[in-house]
Amino acid sequence: METRILGKDLEVSAVGLGCMGMSHAYGRPSDKKDAELLLEKAVEMGCTFFDTAEVYGTADDPHHNEKLIGEILKPHRNHIKIASKCGIRFDETAEGVNKPLIPDGRPETIKKSIEGSLKRLQTDHLDLYYIHRIDNKVPIEETAGAMKELIEQGKILHWGLSEAKEDIIRRAHKVCPITAIQNRYSMMYRDYEALFPVLTELNIGFVAFSPLANGLLTARYNNASEFSESGDYRKVMPQFSERGIKENEKFLAWIEETAKAKNATPAQISLAWMFAKKPWIVPIPGTRKIGRLKENLLSVEVKLTQKEVTEIDSMLEKIPMSQVFGGSKVE
């Protein structure tokens, strides 16, 4: 598979695999055997970039995802890049499926978290380690300083921020150069395109989570789709509501038409559009299904010209679409 460079020298596959959904936010966790088949197929197809976090888990096992990834990918560790995250916890006192996040960017928390992640992931270092959300009670310089220490100790090779804005990025980068920002980005959520100039200036990569708008951009959902399992966040996502599905009808029909013209799927067009935007954007779509995995990884073969990208951007500016899930509330 084609590769891309994040920051100065972190080389990863052009498409990564977001592993969260195997353990968190999409109903019951994946069966271990199914997860093994999926991850092995990803490696076989050339995916080298796997994304997890210490809080991706279940009520019974809050660190389920790191443990799962660590065990299954251990035989491939020397040939892949693993990214994880620290710096948040869920407010377990809250009711509902989408519990608020409580950020914690204190250096002592970061240093404790990395030890747990290394143990669960069965490795002596992480290739990329993010602050999962910004803690406004802790100066970002202190958080960046802790990450710098971890790099000096060899426990992490690169670091990044998730859901960060320009001022925070610039301040943190002065303390310790940032390799990547991981923010929400898709055809339905383009707010962070405003960061592209500063990322270009500072040579920072952009890792796009939810690049398919939590699956809506596969164009496979409609009003008959149900998300009844406990812990499935899609039941509260606006794009999957009855109103959202109705608002997105023209948009999804247009994507299907565009994809058909390129002999591709809507998901592949969505990802190909992202590849053509900037050479340092790496999407990390998640899935539990091998068919979807193949579809996503093969999206690198779909090429869009700059003229086609401009035409798509123009259409995105004017075609009606619903609001999209913006993530858990940060307290």
Ordered by start, the domain boundaries in the chain are 3-318
The answer to whether residue 47 scores a pLDDT higher than 80 is yes
Region of poorest pLDDT, from 13-27, 235-249, 307-321? 235-249
The answer to whether residue 224 scores a pLDDT higher than 70 is no
pLDDT digits (tens, 9 = 90+) for 6-20: 999 999 999 999 999
322 vs 132, more confident = 132
Distance CA(255)–CA(261), nearest Å, equals 10
Q: Which of 26, 56, 129, 233 is catalytic?
A: 56
pLDDT band at 34 (very low <50, low <70, confident <90, very high): very high
Region of poorest pLDDT, from 79-88, 195-204, 246-255? 246-255
Structure tokens at 104: 């914690």
pLDDT in the model for residue 155: 98
User: CA torsion 63→66→71→76, rounded to 10°?
Assistant: 180
Q: How many residues does the chain have?
A: 331
- By DSSP bridging, strand 101-103 and strand 88-90 are antiparallel
Region of poorest pLDDT, from 118-122, 178-182, 189-193, 220-224? 220-224
Whether 189 is catalytic is no
CATH number of the domain located at residue range(s) 3-318 in this protein = 3.20.20.100
Distance CA(90)–CA(88), nearest Å, equals 7
Residue 83: enclosing H or E segment and its boundaries? strand 81-86
Q: How many CA atoms lie within 13 A of 308 on its CB side?
A: 16
Q: What is the mean pLDDT of residues 228-232?
A: 61
Q: What is the mean pLDDT of residues 224-233?
A: 59
Residue 180: enclosing H or E segment and its boundaries? strand 180-184
pLDDT band at 329 (very low <50, low <70, confident <90, very high): low
Query: DSSP string covering 44-80, please?
Result: HTT--EEE--TT---SS-TTHHHHHHHHHHGGGGGG-
Region of poorest pLDDT, from 121-135, 211-225, 305-319? 211-225
Q: Which amino acid is at 63?
A: H
pLDDT digits (tens, 9 = 90+) for 126-158: 999 999 999 999 999 999 999 999 999 999 999
pLDDT in the model for residue 246: 80
pLDDT in the model for residue 59: 77
Distance CA(233)–CA(130), nearest Å, equals 23
The secondary structure of residue 24, as a DSSP letter, is: S
Residue 110 CB neighbours (<10 A) = 24
pLDDT in the model for residue 218: 83
pLDDT digits (tens, 9 = 90+) for 52-92: 999 998 878 889 999 999 999 999 999 999 999 999 987 76
The answer to whether residue 227 scores a pLDDT higher than 60 is no
The answer to whether residue 230 scores a pLDDT higher than 90 is no
Geometric angle at alpha carbon 218, from 212 and 219, rounded to 5°: 125
The answer to whether residue 100 scores a pLDDT higher than 80 is no
Find out whether 84 and 121 touch, Cβ atoms under 8 Å.
Answer: yes
Q: Which amino acid is at 65?
A: N
Percent of the chain with pLDDT over 90: 74
The answer to whether residue 191 scores a pLDDT higher than 70 is yes
Q: What is the mean pLDDT of residues 319-327?
A: 73
The answer to whether residue 26 scores a pLDDT higher than 70 is no
The answer to whether residue 206 scores a pLDDT higher than 80 is yes
pLDDT band at 94 (very low <50, low <70, confident <90, very high): low
Q: What is the mean pLDDT of the chain?
A: 90
Percent of the chain with pLDDT over 70: 89
3-state secondary structure of 150: helix
Residue 254 CB neighbours (<10 A) = 17
Beta bridge partners of 18: 51, 286
CA–chain centroid gap for 257, Å, is 27
Distance CA(73)–CA(43), nearest Å, equals 9
pLDDT in the model for residue 241: 74
Query: DSSP string covering 265-315, please?
Result: -HHHHHHHHHHHH-TTEEE--B-S-HHHHHHHHGGGG----HHHHHHHHHH
Distance CA(91)–CA(98), nearest Å, equals 10
How far, CA to CA in Å, does 43 sit from each of 65, 72, 76, 314? 17, 11, 8, 36
Residue 22 CB neighbours (<10 A) = 26
The answer to whether residue 95 scores a pLDDT higher than 70 is no
